[in-house]
Structure 1
Amino acid sequence: MAAHRRQFRQRLMFQQHRRPRQFKDRSNPLEDLEDDEVYDRFRFRPQTIMFILGLLPDLSRPTNRNHPLPPLLQLLLCLRYFATGAVHILIGDSLDISRSSAGRCIRAVAGHLANLARRFVVFPTNNDAASAKRDFSAIAGFPNVLGCVDCTHIRIIKPKDNEADFVNRKGYHSLNVQMCCDPKFIITSCVATWPGSVHDSRIFRQSALCAQFENGQHDGILLGDSGYPCKRFLMTPFLNPATAPEQRYNEALCRTRVLVEQTFGILKRRFLCLHHEMATEPPQAAVYVVACVVLHNIGIERGDVLSNQDGFLPPVNDDGVRFVGRNDGVIMRQHIVNNFF
């Protein structure tokens, strides 16, 4: 009996001295941070974060267990992952969230952001097309340009299915992502579903952008590197320029087309998950890529961009496999050389 009384007294004393469980007010983790601190952590300033939150559907999840994660916190988890590329357990720890909850939030919010691509990833038409042509021409005098197209490799872990298809020519697993940009570094087209072993020219040939140009929906041309076929709407450089005009043509094309490589640098500098290896399967990695592209465009449109001191990541020259095949745009290319260079 004495032992039972002693244990009872010990439990009673423990209950009297135990601190009651406290839940942090997690509705707005930004309130204690300066704007620059918010930007360093999430790659956007508070006003833009709230704007992005307003674009998303209701993220609240009614539950009878504990306290549900506020929508703002769910968005911040996703932005934190995109900004750092860290594993989910570290992302969760940074905001006092469990690894499993962080993973669920990141996947859900990324899916909602990717669904905004139809609104924010749009190829220029009408007045926007005319403005793009003027701005591209001002760079190096290349006429009638609507965009610069190229592919970049996004590193992923070894996938479970069709593993060999995702090994690129450099020997690592990746997605080969095609993007097109305008003169302001806004991405106007994105195709993120192809494995790393697929050639750039095949991705373009089977893309909706190529079909639109072939059907005459756009009045202008694209600029690409020697990995693409030269077509009447896609200009590529001369491999061996024989005349001074052809050399000037090549120089103008390279000076203009470098914008898409700079766009890749800006995108991967802002969202380091695209620069590091993504530990997810290809379909989910493709969703993350498109979500980052949407956020990239939102940041530029709202003026919430990287400062000059952040700089670019060095452009990655993916021009390792030249296109071999029919070039039905040779006559158009020679016409441009004769009349503009």
Structure 2
Amino acid sequence: MDATRKAIVAVALADYQALQNKYVLHLHDLEEEFQEEYTRRRRAVVTAVLQSRPQVILKSGTEWEVLLDMDDHTFARHFRIRRSRFEQLLRLLQERGLNSKHSHGLPTLPVPKKALMFLWYMANQNSYREISDKFNISQSAAHTAILQVLTIMSGIGPHFVSWPRGCDKWMSSAAFQRTSGLDRVIGAIDGCHIRIQRPPIRGGDYINRKSYYSVLLQGIVNDEGCFIDIFVGPPGRVHDARMLRGSTFYANWQEKMEDYRLLGDSSYIGQAFPFIITPKRDNGALTDADHQQNFYISRGRVIVEQAFGRMKCKWRRLRDLQNTRMDIVVMIIMAACFLHNFALETVDGCDEHPTGCPRHEDGNE
């Protein structure tokens, strides 16, 4: 082959190789376009299927009406109040505006169902997810219904907690005289820590001397362990004596106490509260009469610690409040105090500590 032919063949081979390379690049571009189109169409199909298929929420709980068919003992064990008391509470809530209407286009919830959810919420530490599963509703519906009942409960406190008058004071005084040997005593006062999460605002104020975050409850109880006055909301680091001075009770204590007295612990010693009988500090120089007096005071005032303990055992929501909204925290604590008085006659043994309340870890001091 002469040189001219060799040159022609070489040029032809080069052109062929260039065309082949262009063809390969074209195939690669077609493959990428196909893959992108396939991916786009696949996403569109999946989105259309998901949007066209109705959402199904599986609930394992039974129909709520079954809960109303429980026998009295079982009902009280689960909801912490007797059936007769539940009917009274239901009527009271309805009178105060609780109805079956529901917002945001959701199905209506019967009033008994709302009341049962509220009691279950207060008596347990279940999350809204668990409550919604048990009562076969959405989490948002459970939250809305429970908050509605809490709001109503916080506005009807005098129906549950009220200061004694005349004859009631005399009867309480006689009862304390029998148990403690002290005269003119109508109640015992103390503070109680309710565990919470650290609030987002001034959270450091809520850490108490036991190094956890809490809100304080001041309670005054009569001889039966029934709250006759409560004050809720001070941060956990506040001293009991300071909380008393800032309470609504202290503003008109003379009118309420008259010539009667309360029993208190060492937190109120030397704080110029003439209506509180406190024990004497044991500095090693106490007489036998002083020791006897301290014993009588301790035996009489233990009833307020027992009241806090029973309340936390029965209404277990108080053991650890996971709300950071302080207004809801206060409403829950107030509701627990109201329910404590309302269900005081429901006396059942505590499954967790049958030897008696309170538990040490509840932090009732």
TM-score with structure 2 length normalisation? 0.75
Please, which of 252, 256, 260 is the counterpart of residue 296 of structure 2?
Answer: 252
Are 1:314 and 2:353 an aligned pair?
A: no
Query: Match for residue 42 of structure 1?
Result: 79
> Which amino acid in the other structure matches residue 142 of structure 2?
A
Deviation at 1:286, TM superposition (A): 0.8
Change (3 A) 1:25 1:250: closer
Separation in 2, partners of 1:39, 1:151: 28
Please, which of 79, 86, 99 is the counterpart of residue 139 of structure 2?
Answer: 99
Query: Match for residue 88 of structure 2?
Result: 51
Alignment of 1:213-252 (within 5 A): 213-215=253-255, 217-228=257-268, 229=271, 231-240=273-282, 242-252=286-296
Please, which of 323, 339, 355 is the counterpart of residue 279 of structure 1?
Answer: 323
Are 1:159 and 2:199 an aligned pair?
A: yes
Query: Match for residue 150 of structure 1?
Result: 190
Change (3 A) 1:143 1:25: same
Change (3 A) 1:171 1:232: same
Separation in 1, partners of 2:122, 2:90: 16
Gaps of 5+ in 2: 1-60
Deviation at 1:219, TM superposition (A): 2.5
Deviation at 1:220, TM superposition (A): 0.4
Contact in 2 for aligned 1:133/1:144 (Cα 8 Å): yes
Deviation at 1:36, TM superposition (A): 2.4
Gaps of 5+ in 1: 1-23, 320-341
Alignment of 1:298-313 (within 5 A): 298-300=342-344, 303-307=345-349, 311-313=356-358
Q: Deviations over 1:13-43 (max 9, x none)?
A: xxxxxxxxxxx99674433322222222211
Alignment of 1:1-341 (within 5 A): 28-56=65-93, 57-62=96-101, 65=105, 67-215=107-255, 217-228=257-268, 229=271, 231-240=273-282, 242-300=286-344, 303-307=345-349, 311-314=356-359
Higher relative contact order (CA 8 A, sep 6+): 1
> Which amino acid in the other structure matches residue 339 of structure 2?
L
Separation in 2, partners of 1:200, 1:192: 12
Query: Match for residue 335 of structure 1?
Result: none
Deviation at 1:216, TM superposition (A): 6.4
Separation in 1, partners of 2:339, 2:364: 24
Change (3 A) 1:305 1:86: same
Query: Match for residue 24 of structure 2?
Result: none
Separation in 1, partners of 2:363, 2:299: 14
Contact in 2 for aligned 1:85/1:278 (Cα 8 Å): no
Separation in 1, partners of 2:137, 2:120: 12
Which entry has the higher C-alpha Rg, 1 or 2?
2
SS in 2 for 1:168: coil
SS in 1 for 2:193: strand
Deviation at 1:156, TM superposition (A): 0.8
Deviation at 1:317, TM superposition (A): 6.8
Deviation at 1:182, TM superposition (A): 0.5
Separation in 2, partners of 1:148, 1:296: 16
Deviation at 1:305, TM superposition (A): 3.1
Change (3 A) 1:68 1:27: farther
SS in 1 for 2:191: strand
Q: Deviations over 1:74-110 (max 9, x none)?
A: 1111110110022111112111121111111111101
Two-structure CA RMSD over aligned residues (Å): 2.3
> Which amino acid in the other structure matches residue 336 of structure 2?
C
Separation in 2, partners of 1:66, 1:212: 47
User: Percent identity, aligned pairs only?
Assistant: 28
SS in 2 for 1:266: helix
- The count of corresponding residues between Structure 1 and Structure 2 is 294
Separation in 2, partners of 1:144, 1:124: 14
Contact in 2 for aligned 1:153/1:196 (Cα 8 Å): yes
